[in-house]
Chain A
Amino acid sequence: MMGAALSIALALQQASPSPALQHLHAGVEANQSGQLDQALAEFQKASELDPKLAAAFVDLGAVFIEKRDYAAAIPPLKRALELSPDIEGGHRLLGFALLAQGYASEAIPHLAKAHEDDTVGIALLEAGKLPEAFAALQKSLAKNPNDPDLLYYYGRAAGLLSKQVFDDLEARFPDSARAHQMMAEDYAALRELPSAEREFNEALKLRPQTAGLHLDLGELYARAQQWDKAEEQFRLEAELQPGSAFAAYRLGESLLQLGKFHEARKALAHSNELKPDMPETLYQLGKAESLDNDNAAAQKSWAHLLSLESDTPLAAQAHFGLAGIYRKQGKATEAEHEMEQFRKLQSKPAQPDDSQK
């Protein structure tokens, strides 16, 4: 009811209410009691009786917006702003109506005048002004970090901006290492293994020291279950970035898959040193230690994991691993205790286990 509030204020400025103002007043009352059609008729009458009464046009536009008839709202709001260009509420309403009708570029100055930062960002996005939209939405999100609409538009702006930049990269530098990397990542997302592999290798040929390229190629091979090739790439990444805990972690995982348990253990232990207390690393480290026949070390790693988290799928796996160790050691009670914990945590298996139903 922004328009209604405005009209009341304006009406109060009149010494003796004219017939137009009387209709305006009646319109405000009707609007406040939810009688939108009655309000519409009153505002219409007021604007006819006094064609220079800006408040009547603003209120008329506001009721149309309330009735979701954005097309009908635009002419009276434009007229109101011709009559009184500084009515902030008029700019806000016209900006909304224009944006709702798809006239994003036209809406932007009106929304800006009304200081509607959130909606300006959205209008900029719809108008294809991506860098400006990204900046505006980022600013809005800083003020309202928990607004799902803002998060959505911010994500969309980031995605579109990223695509625009990558398109530009491809158009202007098609033979660059980064263009090949970008193509490789696109193919990888589509699971097009041969094409992704070709583009990664092109990128590596042009700039072999690029951080992350071997890692991404390794991830591609890992997704294709080609663990021997994955190991090679993760190893190269780990050599290139000796401080990367993630590269060491992925190297360890691939070595595990290949049955090279001692090497896997070393890589995972290194990852754990670089970035301690990562549950994923601790789980895989325990597994490597167990497979490397060092059950004492495995117990320690898994116990540490369980001290960090107790009700996650990784915790369940750690309990299952510990049960196996205790079983081997002939500690039936301890093994059963761990299995009990494992069963408890298996609340959401990948496939429901309805064997006892």
Chain B
Amino acid sequence: MNRRITRRDFLEAFAAMGLALPLFDVKHPRGLDFSHVNSPTPQKYLIETMGGGVALFDYNNDGLLDIFLVNSGKLANPMHAPETFDRQNPQNWNRLYRQNPDGSFTDVTKEAGLANAGDGNYGMGVAVGDYDNDGYPDLYITNYGKNTLYHNNGDGTFTDVTAKAGVAAGGWSCSAGFFDYDNDGHLDLFVTRYMLWDTQHSKICGNEWQTYCPPGTFPATTSILYRNRGDGTFEDVSEHSRIAASKGRALGVAFADYDDDGFTDIFVSNDGMRQFLFHNNGDGTFTERGLEAGAALTADGKPLSGMGTVFQDYDNDGRPDILVTVLPREVYALFHNEGDGTFSYRSLQSGLGLLSAASSGWGVGLEDFNNDGWKDLFVAQSHVLDNVEQIDHMLHYKEPPLLALNHEGRFERADSGIAAPLAGRGAAFGDINNDGWIDAVLTSLGGEPLFLLNHASGPAHWLSITLRGTRSNRDGLGARVQVNGQTRFATTAGSYISASDKRLHFGLGAAETAKVDIRWPSGTHQVLENVKANQFLEIREEQKS
């Protein structure tokens, strides 16, 4: 009897022969027909070059990851007040694509009630979190303009609850993320804002070649922290929490408890200045400790063009480290958590000097793409200036993304399978086809997203964990989960203006079982022994008094 030879068989045969193959297949799944609209103008409005985000989440709880893509909008040349971006035009809508069991997608934007993003809003990014603990993930969309909170009604539709919730913000928001800073079981919301800028006070920079202005041209501004009151409304606690005491040019945000005190801390990547590490004091306030902790500047004391960021443990020492993507002639910054409340700059030790010095990074993930038990690095890349090649022939506007495999703490370039350069911006990660290997979706400024299916093969095992909080927030965001010596902090945030799958994926290498150790945000400590590999496991938080 002839057994049908699958692509996986073919790849495994290659792997058995020791031949390295590209890790990802660039797919064009049926139904995924999004194209980002940024409308670049000769005015070189900064917002043109900063969007748009992507979220991987299961909005209808059918076990399949769906995709939400943020569109930006139409810009006039020049813009006049009042600013409008033609967001009612379907071409400029944000889009929700539901995944079907056959791997195709269906555009459900209109029926889900997500069609109108608000004519005064130029789209940037997206955050995902179940802020009302009803079991359905909600969406928070960041804009230049007002932000929007969509409540997931659980029936395939969403309702704009921004006004009721009180989370519109205003100004220019970029990355945002849900987390529970006060461990009260309700997800709070952190919103980064880039700078004080508007189209009426824009500038064009450059001499021979006119281009976008550097961030220092415009005043810094504050990010926003909203505390979830637990009744569907939020309170702006930016002042009280002392988040507003530090003005930045924030583009990225990621969460983890870096000093193991049981409270989630915040890392904010700032563009063209020092980075912020907001230590959670546990009393509703934060102290910005970036400089003292050694996570604000390079080893030479120089500022960074911080864009995307991720706050996870790359070297399996149990402590979350920080990675920041930046512009070329800098190096992606890797701040290693020393375990004493401080960080050391380890970009050069980790191989990032060679990998990233000529590149510009945006969306970023530390994910174990080859299931060997070490988190690998994936970065969406592209310069911020669309005419950089005319200004500096040594740089490139469009770049292929970076895939670097982690060899016990040192990153080495690997073949991602994506040869064509693109203007990469957002990046979200998750196991889209539920085959046990982490996939990715990248957004391309003014273009179509890249849908990347991981076809790595080999004997490596894996475990995917869904947390079900009972005393903690329902999705367990902020929990520290340790599996066979690896550590992940549960989050959907990080990267750049994007949100990733809430499930925690662990590559197990040759191990067929795992020990799972969870410290929930509530403080509950839970250990599971001899957990079988290669399964999607939901773990419910133990009910303890």
| Chain A residues with a Cβ under 8 A of chain B | 190-193, 223-228, 256-259, 261, 287, 291, 316-317, 319-321, 324, 327-328, 330, 339, 342, 346, 349-357
Contacts and interface: CB of A to CB of B under 8 A. Distances in A.
Contacts of B350: 259
B348 A259 contact: yes
B247 A257 contact: no
20 contacts: A193-B393, A224-B358, A227-B353, A227-B354, A256-B348, A257-B357, A259-B351, A287-B299, A291-B348, A291-B349, A317-B300, A330-B340, A346-B301, A349-B303, A350-B303, A351-B214, A351-B215, A355-B274, A356-B246, A357-B220
A324 B216 contact: no
A319 B354 CA distance: 26
B354 A258 contact: yes
Given A224-B358, A351-B272, A356-B246, A191 B392 contact: yes
B533 to A, nearest CB: 34
Interface in B6-29: none
B156 interface: no
What 10 pairs across the A-B complex have the smallest Cβ distances? A320-B301, A225-B357, A225-B358, A351-B272, A351-B216, A191-B393, A257-B353, A224-B394, A259-B348, A354-B220
A226 B358 contact: yes
Contacts, number: 100
Contacts of B198: none
Contacts of A328: 338, 342, 344
A346 B340 CA distance: 27
A351 B273 CA distance: 6
B273 A317 contact: no
Interface stretch (B69-77, B123-131, B289-297): B289-297
B525 interface: no
B329 interface: yes
A125 B393 CA distance: 34
B357 A327 contact: no
B302 interface: yes
Given A192-B393, A258-B354, A354-B220, 6 more contacts: A287-B300, A291-B348, A328-B344, A351-B272, A355-B248, A356-B245
A352 B216 contact: yes
B342 A327 contact: yes
Contacts of A223: 394
A316 B215 CA distance: 24
B170 interface: no
B353 A258 contact: yes
B328 interface: yes
Contacts of A259: 348-351, 353-354, 410
Interface string B61-104: 00000000000000000000000000000000000000000000
Nearest to A259: B348
Chain B interface, DSSP helix/strand/loop, else mixed: loop
A169 B402 CA distance: 44
Nearest to A357: B247
Given A225-B329, A352-B216, A357-B247, A190 B358 contact: no
Contacts of B270: 355
A9 B148 CA distance: 92
Nearest to A223: B394
B404 to A, nearest CB: 13
Contacts of B247: 354-357
B278 to A, nearest CB: 12
Nearest to A283: B300
Contacts of B392: 191
Interface residues of B, number: 41
A14 to B, nearest CB: 63
A353 B270 CA distance: 11
B301 A316 contact: yes
A339 B303 contact: no
Nearest to A316: B301
A355 B273 contact: yes
B219 interface: yes
A259 B412 CA distance: 12
Contacts of A257: 348, 353-354, 357
A148 B214 CA distance: 34
A220 to B, nearest CB: 9
A354 B219 contact: yes
A350 B329 CA distance: 14
A342 B214 CA distance: 25
A320 B351 contact: no
Given A225-B329, A257-B354, A317-B300, A355 B220 contact: yes
Contacts of B351: 259
A316 B270 CA distance: 21
Question: In the complex, which of the residues A319, A321, A351, A356 has the most CB atoms of chain B within 10 Å of its own CB atom?
Answer: A351
Nearest to B216: A351
A191 B358 CA distance: 14
Contact of B274 (A192, A321, A353): A353
B349 A227 contact: no
Contacts of A291: 348-349
A178 to B, nearest CB: 24
A225 B328 contact: yes
A324 B344 contact: yes
A320 B300 contact: yes
Contact of B294 (A224, A324, A346, A349): A324
A353 B303 contact: yes
A355 B338 CA distance: 26
A355 B246 CA distance: 5
Contacts of A225: 328-329, 357-358, 394
Contacts of B294: 324, 327
Contacts of A321: 299-301
Nearest to B394: A224
A225 B331 CA distance: 10
Given A320-B300, A324-B344, A328-B344, A190 B349 contact: no
Interface string B275-308: 0100000000000000110100101111100000
A209 to B, nearest CB: 28
A328 B293 CA distance: 10
B383 to A, nearest CB: 13
Given A257-B353, A258-B354, A291-B349, A350 B246 contact: no
A280 to B, nearest CB: 12
A291 B297 CA distance: 16
Interface in B518-545: none
Contacts of B291: 339
A259 B272 CA distance: 25
Contacts of B354: 227-228, 257-259
A317 B220 CA distance: 25
Interface in B330-357: 338, 340, 342, 344, 348-351, 353-354, 357
Interface in B238-275: 245-248, 270, 272-274
Contacts of B220: 354-355, 357
Contacts of A350: 272, 302-303
B248 A342 contact: no
A352 B273 CA distance: 7
A25 to B, nearest CB: 57
Contacts of B348: 256-259, 261, 291
A192 B394 CA distance: 7
Question: In the complex, which of the residues B246, B300, B357 has the most CB atoms of chain A within 10 Å of its own CB atom?
Answer: B300
A263 to B, nearest CB: 13
B103 to A, nearest CB: 39
Contacts of A349: 273, 303
Contacts of B272: 350-351
Contacts of A193: 393-394
Contacts of B292: 339
Contact of A317 (B216, B301, B338): B301
A225 B328 CA distance: 8
A183 B248 CA distance: 45
A249 B338 CA distance: 30
Nearest to B291: A339
B343 to A, nearest CB: 10
A254 to B, nearest CB: 10
